[in-house]
Every structure is written in structure tokens, then in C-alpha cells.
Amino acid sequence: MMKTYLNNYLSANAYAMRTFLINEQIKMKLNNQINDLQDDIEQLKKQLINAEDYFDNILKFQSSNIPFELQQLRTNNKLLKQELENILLKKLNFHKSETINKKNEEEFENKH
């Protein structure tokens, strides 16, 4: 019986050690993946900064070569677009509130 207990004890210890080693391997792999992903993030941040700088340079170059009248037209276009969007939002909000009011009136009439 003691021999059986000893075998069970040794088997349990071996299982625990195997499990521990497997978990350590998984942990190392995940840490390596984390480090690789952090390196990728840093590279992507550098690429983003370079792309933003490139874009800013293009805009500066374009704005210096665009005639003044065209710049004014673009500015006016942006302002008109914003004004149109504001008007449409007001209309949509008015329409929504009107629909809600009609539903409330119908519910009130149906109750009474």
C-alpha cells in the first residue's frame, strides 16, 4: 500500500511539474508575442508620423501653388456645406419631434 501511495505521489509531482513547464512555455510565447506586437506598434506610430508630415508638406505645397480665388472658393464651399448640414439637422430634428407629438396625440385620443 505504501508503494502505491509513493507511486501516486511521484505521478502527481511529475504531472504538476509537466503542467508548470507547459504553462511557463506558453507564458514565454505570449510574452514574445507581446514584445513583437509592441515593436510593430512603434513602427506603425513612426510610419503614421511620417505620413502626417508628408501630408502636411503636400498641403503646404498645394496651398502655396493654388490661386487665391480657388482658396476662397474652397473656403466658401466648406462654409456652405456646414450651413447645409446644420439646416438638414434642424429639419430632421423638427420632423422627429413632430412625429413624436403626433404619436402622443394619437395615444391620448385612443385612451379617451
Longest Cα–Cα distance in the chain:
100
3-state secondary structure of 112: coil
**Is residue 40 domain-shared with residue 80, that is, in the same domain?**
no
Q: What is the extent of the structural domain holding 29?
A: 1-65
**Is residue 81 domain-shared with residue 57, that is, in the same domain?**
no
**Is residue 27 domain-shared with residue 12, that is, in the same domain?**
yes
Among 50, 65, 80, identify where a domain stops. 65
User: What is the count of structural domains for the chain?
Assistant: 2
3-state secondary structure of 79: helix
**Is residue 71 domain-shared with residue 59, that is, in the same domain?**
no
pTM for the whole thing? 0.45
Taking all residues of the chain, what is their mean pLDDT, rounded to a whole number? 86
Convert the pLDDT of each residue in 42-85 to its tens digit: 999 999 999 999 988 887 776 666 677 777 888 899 999 999 99
